[in-house]
Structure 1
């Protein structure tokens, strides 16, 4: 059973079945809760029972009041409390990983964490410096348990939205298979899917330096700028364009945007979004394009809208959908 927002709300209200209660409490006691939580989870819904477990576990004695000097911006109170947990975890990991050093041992190996999302899954992750990363489906994020030294470096593939904690003394660097992204503190969307030849960055706020791993030059991207590194033409190249950033980041708020896409392009998005297989059994559809916008959509809702606009029907066989 998956621990979802709805299950957490029922736990808070005392309406869980014994099995649901056991699963929630296992999740609260697991390592996963240290860095992640269900998509769209509201910490207020966890309530006193669940949050007390987390607070007691990490010896957080402060009440739910905002931490002095910290701006909430558009985040819920959760971000402050979760950031506190991340800080405590980071400190604990630091002392744990360096305990042999304190006994005289040298050259400790840096501990890393790796977070992966499956098809149909989204996840929020708080990094040791307070940076928040929203991972889209089929993404992998690898980062050190503590950012030591003069850089904050991590490795990524897939698609994610990053809200980077500001630290001018320690640049934040993301390595993908083909590119490097360097920032000091900003908000941006990074798309580096292993199934696509292009890697793209769209900046919502701040400034990003975007470059290929070899010597193709670099782009300086600011708000509402999109940079693309493409290798489809053989020789790698960089290009930039003015865009509306919100369009590229809507997915993290569970808004599905299909903007003038071919049926093949839409299929790839829907297969990742819903963890299904879509077979196109009507060749005329390959020449059609579709535009649509959905908030918290069911697959049935999307299929019926596309079918009406593009004049196709579909049948379902388990997790396979056949368009005809």
Structure 2
């Protein structure tokens, strides 16, 4: 049967036989009818537009609402299927994109631990990679709970001795306020006290790269080499020298080594070691130099030795000691 104007009109009025209705609906579904389904278009408008194409071709002008009922069921099924498909795709995209975002955020948000020592306190800390750090008094060590990336990075201030676990694939970097120390596996002492204008590194074993935080000045330090980053003159200055490394790490074994220090410098060390306050009331005494070596000493033992050698007296008032 050929679809013509009369058949279309009867189909529109609901007067077609089941066979005729099937033929007309097949024709409506074919490319010949030239219908389209643009996105975000109301179903009723689609029906109206489709009917206008048909009625325009055959010069039929009934109400468009009627034709909507002809094909709307078919269109609705198509659009419902498409909507369901888009919903599934959208849900999958949302899930995986959010999963990726969450994973990325979780990778970026790293949990950190912070260990502090007070005056008169020393502490040994083992890091997640097996690195062992001995913290001297008044030190702060901040490190991630796990080293997840290609670098093992941490932040530090104070004085500490590092025994770095070797891992060539993950360089170990210590950041201080003004400097950076980078190693693969080594043992070194780092002194970066907030009360001092210098930061120093002494290497006992292995090799480190020591630099200012801008990397403009850097040196390679090996065993028994000391690097000093000095800010006392205003402009940063990085220098190196040959030293006896054991002297700089004696504190780790509770050896108090005062090597040709002024009484003022020695007093600062004693304040940190014993959590006390020292005042020097005798003119010129703070510039006089003292050398002494003690193994796990008491404060009284140290003060009596210094007072005898330097010919001064001291008195105690609570946690404060006055040299005069």
Indicate whether the TM-score tops 0.5: yes
CA contact (8 A) 1:260 1:290 kept: yes
Taking the aligned partners of 1:258 and 1:302, their CA distance within structure 2 comes to: 10
| Structure 2 match to 1:208 | 208
Map of 1:1-324 to 2, 5 A cutoff? 106-108=104-106, 109-324=109-324
Taking the aligned partners of 2:204 and 2:186, their CA distance within structure 1 comes to: 8
Q: CA deviation at 1:323?
A: 0.9
Taking the aligned partners of 2:271 and 2:289, their CA distance within structure 1 comes to: 17
Q: CA deviation at 1:284?
A: 3.3
TM-score after normalising by structure 2: 0.68
SS of residue paired to 1:110:
coil
Query: Is the radius of gyration larger for structure 1 or structure 2?
Result: 2
Q: CA deviation at 1:105?
A: 5.2
Taking the aligned partners of 1:220 and 1:295, their CA distance within structure 2 comes to: 32
Say if 1:312 and 1:184 are closer, same or farther in 2 by CA, change over 3 A. same
Q: CA deviation at 1:234?
A: 1.1
CA contact (8 A) 1:216 1:238 kept: no
Off by >2 Å, runs of 4+ in structure 1: 100-106
Taking the aligned partners of 2:169 and 2:285, their CA distance within structure 1 comes to: 53
Higher helix share: 2
SS of residue paired to 1:283:
coil
CA contact (8 A) 2:124 2:132 kept: yes
SS of residue paired to 1:180:
strand
CA contact (8 A) 1:216 1:236 kept: no
| Structure 2 match to 1:79 | none
CA contact (8 A) 1:191 1:201 kept: yes
Q: CA deviation at 1:107?
A: 1.2
TM-score after normalising by structure 1: 0.68
Gaps of 5+ in 1: 1-99
CA contact (8 A) 2:163 2:186 kept: yes
CA deviation string 1:21-56 (max 9, x = no partner) = xxxxxxxxxxxxxxxxxxxxxxxxxxxxxxxxxxxx
Q: Which moved more, 1:207-216 or 1:194-203?
A: 207-216
CA deviation string 1:41-94 (max 9, x = no partner) = xxxxxxxxxxxxxxxxxxxxxxxxxxxxxxxxxxxxxxxxxxxxxxxxxxxxxx
SS of residue paired to 2:209:
strand
SS of residue paired to 2:258:
strand
Taking the aligned partners of 1:301 and 1:101, their CA distance within structure 2 comes to: 63
Gaps of 5+ in 2: 1-97
Say if 1:240 and 1:105 are closer, same or farther in 2 by CA, change over 3 A. closer
CA contact (8 A) 2:264 2:287 kept: no
SS of residue paired to 1:271:
helix
CA deviation string 1:94-128 (max 9, x = no partner) = xxxxxx97997541121000000000000000000
Q: CA deviation at 1:213?
A: 0.8
Q: Which moved more, 1:239-248 or 1:212-221?
A: 212-221
Q: CA deviation at 1:217?
A: 2.0
CA deviation string 1:149-205 (max 9, x = no partner) = 100000000000000000000000000000000000000000000000000000000
Say if 1:218 and 1:301 are closer, same or farther in 2 by CA, change over 3 A. same
CA contact (8 A) 1:162 1:189 kept: yes
Q: CA deviation at 1:214?
A: 1.7
In the alignment of these two chains, the number of paired residues is: 225
Q: CA deviation at 1:282?
A: 1.0
CA contact (8 A) 1:216 1:237 kept: no
Say if 1:215 and 1:125 are closer, same or farther in 2 by CA, change over 3 A. closer
